[in-house]
Amino acid sequence: MSNKQTHTGHRGLVYEEALIFERGRDGACGVDLPEPEGVTPRLNGMARKGAIGLPGLSEPEVMRHFVRLSQKNYSIDAGFYPLGSCTMKHNPRLNEKMARLPGFADVHPLQPQSTVPGALELMSELGRWLMELTGMPAVAMSPKAGAHGELCGLMAIRAALEARGEADTRTRVLVPESAHGTNPATAAACGFSVDAIPATEDGRVDLAAFEAKLGEDVAGIMLTNPNTCGLFERDIRKIADAVHDAGGYFYCDGANFNAIVGRVKPGDLGVDAMHINLHKTFSTPHGGGGPGAGPVVLSDALAPFAPLPYVVKEGDKLRLIEDEAASDADPFGRMVAFHGQMGMFVRALSYMMSHGSDGLRQVAEDAVLNANYVLASLKDVMSASFEGPCMHEALFDDRFLKGTGVETLDFAKAMIDEGYHPMTVYFPLVVHGAMLIEPTETESKSTLDVFIGCMRELTRAAKAGETERFTNAPELTPRRRLDETAAARKPILRWTPPAPAQAAE
């Protein structure tokens, strides 16, 4: 890589982008509005005393600044994004077009129900699809994300225990080591103690250890299936039956539902509650902190405790039940202010209806096929953690890097120079130096072949002693490798202006 320095700091057409505060200048403004007349201040002593320090820029300067920032944001629309356990799949533009229809995009949560029959119909239809695909009799649409859905499921379980008079005695939730990382946090946030279940050497729940932990204080189990090792839990029926026999409930983390949708109905596996990440399985936009949606399907045992609001059908009309007094059930309360994320609902239903039941089944099959293609194509040079076949994710560990001086993090950083967002690293925790690759069903064989070729080349370079190629990476990005520990422990979250230059006396 060239170390040529430029006057501007740009590299080619990649602009050096200063903070917008650093770009601003006194006296510049993007708008020119007259001072308001005849306005009587009503803020008393709360009125602002001085300038608030907004950057001064013209409208074109503001536009260019944010467009350049957007170009630095690597996304699934820019390239292959093999982030394991996150399902970075293509978002069909048809979904976006449907979500932008004025009847959906402009709907307001405070509109009278009589003015939004179409929105209620869409929520009801999406819920019907989710219940059909999961084989579950009820659904709560309002949770805002996967972890929020987990909390909804655990709160429904706690409400059911309260109704049984066992909330004070059943206080322990079992969580396998191969579960999603949010599961223990959710159980703890809901007031339960967390009891970990070890994994077997083949990456699945240790059934004997699980059965040994059952007791009268167990509220339930939180199990991820397929699990975070990319494996299907073969003993899931035995686990469901055992926890039910012990008086507990079965929460299944549905984050990886995209690997089995159309193939297996969680209701047939004995699940009592499961959240569904619409972004992972039904291709709504992912990340950025939302807006998200994590509907939760519930069994007959937990359905009466589903949170408000929910849609019911009365004759040929739909009605949104928003008050506990209007409910025939025993809802545990309300988790959010309104009814859910309409934009995500529209996108998810659009995805479902455009694929159909056979198409959704093929989505799962293609996702699993692609992951196994990656696993089979790399297992002779990289160390596969488990023999396989895998589900929708291929998992490798760092044994193939032993003695090279290259670690998992270095390998991931070198991928950035090759034009790839790295896979998930160091997760799941049960695998040393883990590298979790999820290709998804939307990537073509030619895309995967180029990626596989890159991974094989990097592996060759590591074993050939080209250590600096890894430890110095990334070298082709606007910024080099960061001190991630310092960034996490000492984050700089507020811009402060530089000290004014002192005039010489």
- What is residue 457's predicted lDDT score, i.e. its pLDDT? 96
Mean pLDDT of the chain: 92
Residue-wise pLDDT for 236-290, tens only, equals 999 999 999 999 999 999 989 999 999 999 999 999 999 999 988 999 887 655 5
DSSP string spanning 8-51? SS-BTTB-----HHHH--TT--S---PPP-SPPP--GGGS--S-
Backbone angles phi, psi at 80, to 5 degrees: -65, 135
Backbone angles phi, psi at 221, to 5 degrees: -125, 145
Residue 384's nearest CA partner among 376, 395, 373 is 395
Tell whether the model's pLDDT for residue 7 goes beyond 90: no
Contact at 8 Å (CB) between 224 and 252? yes
Q: What is the mean pLDDT of residues 469-488?
A: 90
Domain 95-352 is found in CATH 3.40.640.10: yes
- pLDDT band at residue 40, thresholds of 50, 70 and 90? confident
Tell whether the model's pLDDT for residue 452 goes beyond 70: yes
Q: What is the DSSP letter of 263?
A: T
- What is residue 453's predicted lDDT score, i.e. its pLDDT? 96
How many other CB atoms sit within 10 Å of the CB of residue 277?
Answer: 25
The continuous run of DSSP H or E covering 349 comes out as helix 342-378
Contact at 8 Å (CB) between 486 and 22? no
Return d(Cα 466, Cα 395) in angstroms, integer.
24
Backbone angles phi, psi at 33, to 5 degrees: -110, 140
> Two tokens at 30?
């993007």
The continuous run of DSSP H or E covering 244 comes out as helix 236-245
- pLDDT band at residue 503, thresholds of 50, 70 and 90? low
Return d(Cα 174, Cα 192) in angstroms, integer.
10
Tell whether the model's pLDDT for residue 447 goes beyond 90: yes
The 3-state secondary structure of 384-414 reads ECCCCCCCCCEEEECHHHCCCCCCHHHHHHH
Residue-wise pLDDT for 111-130, tens only, equals 999 999 999 999 999 999 99
Contact at 8 Å (CB) between 229 and 84? no
DSSP string spanning 98-166? HHTSHHHHT--TTS-GGG-HHHHHHHHHHHHHHHHHHT-SEEE----SHHHHHHHHHHHHHHHHHHHT-
Backbone Cα Rg of the chain:
26
Query: What 3-state DSSP class applies to 243?
Result: helix
Q: What is the DSSP letter of 324?
A: G
Portions of the chain given CATH number 3.90.1150.10: 357-481
- What is residue 64's predicted lDDT score, i.e. its pLDDT? 95
Residue-wise pLDDT for 396-407, tens only, equals 999 999 999 999
Return d(Cα 303, Cα 410) in angstroms, integer.
48
Tell whether the model's pLDDT for residue 409 goes beyond 60: yes
- pLDDT band at residue 292, thresholds of 50, 70 and 90? confident
Strands 273-275 and 249-253: parallel
Cβ partners under 8 Å of residue 183, min gap 6? 150, 175, 222, 224, 253
In degrees to the nearest 10, what's the CA dihedral of 395, 400, 403, 409? Answer: -30
Tell whether the model's pLDDT for residue 505 goes beyond 60: no
Tell whether the model's pLDDT for residue 1 goes beyond 60: no
Contact at 8 Å (CB) between 421 and 221? no
| pLDDT above 90 coverage of the chain, percent | 73
Residue 144's nearest CA partner among 393, 342, 365 is 342
Report the range of poorest mean pLDDT among 51-60, 62-71, 449-458: 51-60
Q: What is the DSSP letter of 83?
A: B
Tell whether the model's pLDDT for residue 473 goes beyond 90: yes
Contact at 8 Å (CB) between 275 and 294? yes
Q: How far apart are the first and last CA of the chain?
A: 46
| pLDDT above 70 coverage of the chain, percent | 97
- What is residue 425's predicted lDDT score, i.e. its pLDDT? 96
Tell whether the model's pLDDT for residue 12 goes beyond 80: no
Q: What is the mean pLDDT of residues 375-386?
A: 97
- What is residue 504's predicted lDDT score, i.e. its pLDDT? 54
CATH architecture observed for domain 357-481 = Alpha-Beta Complex (3.90)
